Amino acid sequence: MSGFDSFLKNEKLIERLKRDITANRLAHAYIIEGGEGCGKRTLANLICAAASCSESDRPCMECISCYKILRAQSPDVITVGADKDRVQISVDVIRRLREDTVVAPNDLARKFYIIPKADTMNVQAQNAMLKILEEPPPYVMFLLLCERADDLLPTIRSRAPIYRVESLDDDIIIEALKSDENAKLLSENDPDAFFAAVRLARGSLGRAKELTDPKSAAECLKIYKKAERYIDLLAERRDAASELAFYEYSSKLANSKEREELEGIYSLLSDAIRDLINVKLTKSPSPIFYITPEKAREVADRFALSKLMTLLEVFMSAHNSLERNANINLTQIKTSAAAAAATRVK
Ligand SMILES: [Zn+2]
């Protein structure tokens, strides 16, 4: 059994990869696209292992090369990101990368450069990257990870096959978690926390395993409940006093150090609002945030469709601002004001 068999769903992509590996037809660069937490990094590691493994069913996950790569212990697997305090990957980063490619690999047959947020390379950086892709040293491989390959220059896209990784559906994740001790215990002892962890994992099995760990699970449930409470407050008809209570709650969802938690809440809120829109617009909706379509319908009845549309924009833009490093407190205040305005009863 090859390590690729542990990569769930995405059968076509895996089939294509296995064929290329068996035929020794691996490219010098791959673009791996897909949403946050869908397993792009896992796939990249598996490709590095497959390209380095000496067994017949590659990656075997057990030989010395596989072992080192999968435990991040090989100096030949290099992760490339933006410089400290920078959001974009600058041309300097890629120039340094280019210099590094001249040095032959240490302990593997190849040297791998994984760029987890390749879409944050600015245009200059992408052009510098293109030059390396045009004439790469024979022993290097690049793995460019991004949410959408369209965010890369067409010239880069033409130099590397694009693999699209689909997120897993919750039922596949729940099934796969049955063999995980922590997850099993949690689903028996605290089904609400288990469910919250699966939702927060957003299609990533690895993340779901982390989140169903007893410590993280309590945290997940807390975040999930915050989002649920937020929606409830939005649905209430507000007078001056309850408007103040709404502000108090919604502008202090997270303190200034909890960027990731706040991002999580805003993306859950976007999921929840999408559910509410879907139950209004489609005959057989399959909610992401709410546990059943009935539950989503009950909440959706408390909102007009036009207000939901505005709220979706508000929460998505809050999430995007945080990703672009916006100030946490300001984002919460601005988002509260926009959400209140969108749902105010005139
Ligand atoms: Zn191996």
CA 4 to ligand 1 centroid distance, Å: 12
Per-residue pLDDT at 141: 97
Strand 77-79 to strand 111-115: parallel, antiparallel, or no bridges (unpaired)? parallel
CA 344 to ligand 1 centroid distance, Å: 60
> What confidence tens digit (pLDDT) does each residue in 162-195 have?
999 988 888 888 988 999 999 999 999 988 888 8
Least confident of 73-82, 151-160, 238-247: 238-247
CA 333 to ligand 1 centroid distance, Å: 51
The answer to whether residue 132 scores a pLDDT higher than 80 is yes
Per-residue pLDDT at 266: 94
CA 3 to ligand 1 centroid distance, Å: 9
| DSSP run (H or E) holding 337 | helix 328-343
Whole-angstrom distance, CA of residue 44 vs CA of residue 116: 9
Here the tokens at position 219 are: 């945290």
CA 6 to ligand 1 centroid distance, Å: 14
Please provide the average confidence, as pLDDT, over all residues in the chain: 90
CA 66 to ligand 1 centroid distance, Å: 4
CA 80 to ligand 1 centroid distance, Å: 24
> What confidence tens digit (pLDDT) does each residue in 42-59 have?
899 999 999 999 898 889
Per-residue pLDDT at 1: 63
Least confident of 20-24, 94-98, 109-113, 120-124: 20-24
CA 74 to ligand 1 centroid distance, Å: 13
8 A C-beta contact, residue 170 and residue 202: no
Task: Map out the domains of the chain with their CATH numbers.
Answer: 3-164 (3.40.50.300), 213-343 (no CATH)
Per-residue pLDDT at 257: 84
DSSP state of 113: E
Of all residues in the chain, what percent carry a pLDDT higher than 90?
Answer: 55
Chain centre distance of CA 231: 23
Residues 6+ apart with CB under 8 A from 338: 314
CA 99 to ligand 1 centroid distance, Å: 29
Between 286 and 343, the higher pLDDT residue:
343
The answer to whether residue 126 scores a pLDDT higher than 90 is yes
CA 52 to ligand 1 centroid distance, Å: 7
pLDDT band per the 50, 70, 90 thresholds, residue 92: very high
Average pLDDT for 4-11:
79
CA 46 to ligand 1 centroid distance, Å: 10
Per-residue pLDDT at 346: 63
Residue 293: asked if its preceding bond is cis (omega within 30°), the reply is no
CA 132 to ligand 1 centroid distance, Å: 28
Per-residue pLDDT at 332: 95
Per-residue pLDDT at 192: 84
CA 229 to ligand 1 centroid distance, Å: 48
CA 21 to ligand 1 centroid distance, Å: 13
